[in-house]
Amino acid sequence: NAGVMQNPRHLVRRRGQEARLRCSPMKGHSHVYWYRQLPEEGLKFMVYLQKENIIDESGMPKERFSAEFPKEGPSILRIQQVVRGDSAAYFCASSYPGGGTHEQFFGPGTRLTVL
Amino acid sequence: KQEVTQIPAALSVPEGENLVLNCSFTDSAIYNLQWFRQDPGKGLTSLLLIQSSQREQTSGRLNASLDKSSGRSTLYIAASQPGDSATYLCAARSGGYQKVTFGIGTKLQVIP
């Protein structure tokens, strides 16, 4: 039973480039959440997605950031024209949609460094 | 809007001590509350999850309690060990879309 997988684990980009972060949820999970953790800060909610739908994107910056969770394949968090302030750890979590605890299981994170 | 606060921000204790980490939340209409552990540069490991209808959960040397009416949760660690050194995060799930709101965490150091 593989857990939540994220890749790459580390990503280095120069200012102005694009960053694509991928998240594969646990088997059977169709809910995905993205969080950002800035240095010395807590995790901040960014976006909540179900298959092919964005449910809540209230934590996403208005510009340059987008997320998708297609019917097939991983969820993608895309950051266009990265700036130094985008340097952070980005965590993905998934949960099972049925009844129960709705516990979120986290991936190992992608650490983005913008030079 | 849910806000989660954790006190203290950092804690240093000698090995073997029992300790309590505190978490408070402003919106008592939570769905559940979860405690995580995060090691430096690593992801999050779920420790305990308490549903809103529960008062406490236990796993090994860990015990988490929940008091919704006062907006508080505590994580009790018995007989602390150096391997317990990490940052402990509290997260409350609430709202229409059951968004999870994290506290900043308590950085624990257990000294051998």
**Per-residue model confidence as pLDDT tens digits over A29-81:** 889 999 999 877 889 999 999 988 999 999 999 999 999 999 999 999 999 99
Q: Are B103 and A42 inside 8 Å of each other by CB?
A: yes
Cross-chain residue pair A45–B104, CB shorter than 8 Å? no
Contact flag B102-A111 (C-beta cutoff 8 Å): no
Residue B102 and residue A48: Cβ atoms within 8 Å?
no
Nearest Cα residue in chain A from B4: A42
Hey, is the C-beta of A41 within 8 angstroms of any chain B C-beta?
A: yes
Buried b (16+ CB within 10 A) or exposed e, B34-69: bbbbbeeeebbebbbbbbeeeeebeeeebbbbbebe
Q: Nearest 5°: CA angle at A43, between A39 and A46?
A: 115
pLDDT in tens, B1-54: 889 999 999 999 999 999 999 999 999 999 899 999 999 888 889 999 999 999
Gap between the Cα atoms of A32 and A39, Å rounded? 23
CA distance, residue A32 to nearest chain B CA (Å): 11
Among candidates B32, B45, B100 on the partner chain, residue whose Cβ is nearest the Cβ of A45 = B100
Residue position matching structure tokens 């950051």: A79
Of B29, B15, B26, the C-alpha closest to B85 is B15
CB A61 within 8 Å of CB B14: no
Q: Decide if B89 and A43 are in contact by the 8 Å CB cutoff.
A: yes
